[in-house]
């Protein structure tokens, strides 16, 4: 189960489908920040924003220039998180 910090941020330490994703120390969620979307280190920069920039061909150097408070490890971890979520399996709780 994800751990909830004193600041309401959830740091991603979770297990889905038997596969643990404990290495994500930079991805947080907080209902008060960006509507609870996964963000980088509690900042108002979503994982989706970073993944979108990478997907459209923006080099890391440009992303870091656009967001000077980010670090190269933030970009790598955003991509790791996105890859992990893409492999997630949804299991229905009930069948209609």
Cβ atoms of 20 and 31 closer than 8 Å: no
Q: Which two tokens stand for residue 38?
A: 């996964």
Task: Kindly calculate the radius of gyration of the chain based on its CA atoms and give it in whole angstroms.
Answer: 14
Cβ atoms of 48 and 39 closer than 8 Å: no
Map out the domains of the chain with their CATH numbers: 3-86 (1.10.10.10)
pLDDT digits (tens, 9 = 90+) for 18-54: 444 567 899 999 999 999 999 999 999 999 999 999 9
pLDDT digits (tens, 9 = 90+) for 66-78: 999 999 999 999 9
The Cα–Cα gap between 10 and 1 comes to 10
The number of beta carbons lying within 10 Å of the beta carbon of residue 35 is: 10
């Amino acid at each position: 189960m994800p751990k909830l910090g004193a600041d309401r941020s959830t740091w991603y330490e979770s297990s889905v489908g038997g596969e643990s994703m404990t290495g994500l120390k930079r991805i947080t969620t907080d209902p008060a920040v960006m509507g609870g979307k996964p963000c980088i280190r509690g900042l108002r920069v979503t994982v989706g924003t970073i993944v979108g920039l990478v997907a459209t061909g923006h080099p890391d150097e440009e992303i870091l220039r656009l967001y000077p408070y980010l670090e190269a490890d933030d970009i790598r971890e955003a991509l790791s998180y996105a890859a992990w979520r893409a492999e997630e399996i949804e299991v229905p709780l009930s069948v209609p």
